């Protein structure tokens, strides 16, 4: 039994309802609301909090591989959904055998994108395999695929066909480009999306031999696309509550990257309207062409931000700090004093944003003369206390060993069968009423029999499927 304590601070008194966990899950909470200030706390018999996962009871059929799709479905699993991953018999997701650190074991690439899921090996080219998927879809809330353009349709599981199988299923798909694109039939990988989405053209240095399109180290094309699809799927679940019917949610990798390059389109329009971009490092010494140039480490807004060398930079390529000089007089004055240039506060050459545009390189040099005397963390501690926006450049080794990130669940240690413990990135959102439990990724086909029985297959039928290599080759 759980106790749901319902209280009101509006003078209507308190209520205490005794409910078992099953009834609680299906309870229409709106019927309990006494006033807008109502609050509810679920307490178990031991006095601790019982946390209900947001997507508990939602079943997801995950026909995705590599990164864009699995990043989406892993988040659904972390939020409590039952995610069943369909994998090719015998080999599974390609990332199981890519970039191995321990020969013969599933690679970190796979493990870090497939936690909390169940795995079923399935030959989707066989009639029996298609029947298994059909049965699964009849029990599903969400179906997600990211195979190459046309592949799923060719196998008989287009949006139209799946909608006939189960009208309540929400169908999520990831492709490189949207249907109206001239590249709609082209396969896309992470760098392809970054290049086609405007990120590569606007990232990197703007002069010399390094003036080349550069992709970000962050997975703007893959995981970012997965998070965009996640938003669409969650919205579709809310819509289904109103309509009772599932819908088709398509997310292109190009569109996801373009969405994150929104301010670059802003700059392009400003350039076309004014012929100049004063906030970029090229101004005032260089002329602008008809498209925005790459801009190094500029902040991107009207404020003046840059990445500066710190003490020890000669031996540590990440001994850098990012500092932003804000436009408003008060925070600018605090920064000017801290770096040893209080004269800037009253000097019209420096004390307005427009004036600083004209001498930005001089300001960059002066700030770096200060930062090169100090450790990056020391700088952040000093300037942070003064309200100056700043942050150290952290290497992945520093992030891996950051105790604060482990404490809050951003870096998580997972116990994986056969392998032992490995580190992964945990759930980025933090909830007051729910903490995702990051669990092991599935072994290939680990849950095949379990899943088949859930959709009505007998032991004899499962054995027959195995003998034909429809499952678990």
Show the CA angle centred on residue 152, arms to residues 146 and 156, nearest 5°: 155
> Distance of CA 170 to CAs 138, 145, 196, 248, 463, Å?
12, 11, 28, 6, 31
Nearest 5°: the CA angle 244, 247, 248 is 170
Bond into 284 cis (ω within 30)? yes
Cα(195)–Cα(205) distance, integer angstroms: 16
Residue 208's region, left for phi above 0, alpha for psi from -120 to 50, else beta, is left
Helix axes 223-243, 253-260, angle to 10 degrees: 100
CA dist 58 and 237 (Å) reads: 10
Q: What is the DSSP string of 61-116?
A: EEE--TTHHHHHHHHHHHTT-EEEEEE-TTT-SGGGGSS-SSTTS--HHHHTT-TT
Cβ-based neighbour number of residue 379 at 10 Å? 24
What's the number of CA atoms in the CB half-sphere (13 Å) around residue 250? 14
| DSSP string across 49-63 | BP---TTTT-EEEEE
Radius of gyration of the chain (CA): 27
In Å, how far are 71, 232, 409 from 114, measured between CA atoms? 8, 20, 17
Q: Which of 105, 76, 139, 77 is nearest to 444 (CA)?
A: 105
Cα separation, 105 vs 470, in Å, equals 24
Distances (CA, A) of 120 to 54, 116, 149, 292, 445: 24, 14, 23, 48, 4
- Cα separation, 35 vs 14, in Å, equals 11
d(CA 123, CA 470): 5
Q: Is 222 a catalytic residue?
A: yes
**Closest among 472, 446, 456, 435 to 119, alpha carbons compared:** 446
CB 311 within 8 A of CB 382: no
State the catalytic residue, choosing from 62, 93, 141, 222.
222
Helix (H) or strand (E) segment spanning residue 443: none
**Catalytic machinery residues:** 222
């Amino acid at each position: 039994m759980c106790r749901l304590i319902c209280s009101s601070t509006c003078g209507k008194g308190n209520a205490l309802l005794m409910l078992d966990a099953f009834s609680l899950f299906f309870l229409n909470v709106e019927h309990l609301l006494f006033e807008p200030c109502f609050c509810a706390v679920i307490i178990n018999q031991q006095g601790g909090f019982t946390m209900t996962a947001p997507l508990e009871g939602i079943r997801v059929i995950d026909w995705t591989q590599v990164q864009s799709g699995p990043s989406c479905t892993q988040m659904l699993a972390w939020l409590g959904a039952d995610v069943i991953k369909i994998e090719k018999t015998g080999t599974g997701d390609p990332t199981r055998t890519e970039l191995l650190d321990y020969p013969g074991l599933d690679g970190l690439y796979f493990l870090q994108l497939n936690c909390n899921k169940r795995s079923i090996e399935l030959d989707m080219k066989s009639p029996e395999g298609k029947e298994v998927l059909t049965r699964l879809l009849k029990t599903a809330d969400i179906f997600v695929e990211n195979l190459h353009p046309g592949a799923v349709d060719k196998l008989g599981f287009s949006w139209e066909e799946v909608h006939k199988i189960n009208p309540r299923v929400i169908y999520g798909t990831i492709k490189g480009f949207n249907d109206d694109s001239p590249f709609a039939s082209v396969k896309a990988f992470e760098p392809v999306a970054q290049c086609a989405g405007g990120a590569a053209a606007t990232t990197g240095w703007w002069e010399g031999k390094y003036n080349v399109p550069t992709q970000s180290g962050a997975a703007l094309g893959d995981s970012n696309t997965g998070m965009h699809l996640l938003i669409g799927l969650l919205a579709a679940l809310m819509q289904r509550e109103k309509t009772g019917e599932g819908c088709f949610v398509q997310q292109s990798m190009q569109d996801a990257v373009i969405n994150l390059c929104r301010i670059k389109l802003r700059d392009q329009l400003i350039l076309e309207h004014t012929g100049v971009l004063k906030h970029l490092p090229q101004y005032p010494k260089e002329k602008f062409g008809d498209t925005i140039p790459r801009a190094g480490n500029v902040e991107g807004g009207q404020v003046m931000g840059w990445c500066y060398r710190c003490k020890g930079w000669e031996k540590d390529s990440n001994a850098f700090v990012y500092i932003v000089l804000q436009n408003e007089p008060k925070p600018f004055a605090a920064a000017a004093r801290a770096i040893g240039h209080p004269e800037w506060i009253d000097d019209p050459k420096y004390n307005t944003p427009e004036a600083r545009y004209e001498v930005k390189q001089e300001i960059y040099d002066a700030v770096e003369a200060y930062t090169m005397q100090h450790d990056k963390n020391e700088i952040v501690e000093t300037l942070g206390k003064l309200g100056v926006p700043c942050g150290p450049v952290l290497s992945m080794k520093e992030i891996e060993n950051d105790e604060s990130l482990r404490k809050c669940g951003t870096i998580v240690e997972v116990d994986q069968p056969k392998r032992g413990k490995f580190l992964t990135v945990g759930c980025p959102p933090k909830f007051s009423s729910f903490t995702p439990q990051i669990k092991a990724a599935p072994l290939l086909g680990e849950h095949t029999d379990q899943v088949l029985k859930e959709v009505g297959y007998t032991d004899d039928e499962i054995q027959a499927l195995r003998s034909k290599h429809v499952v678990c080759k």
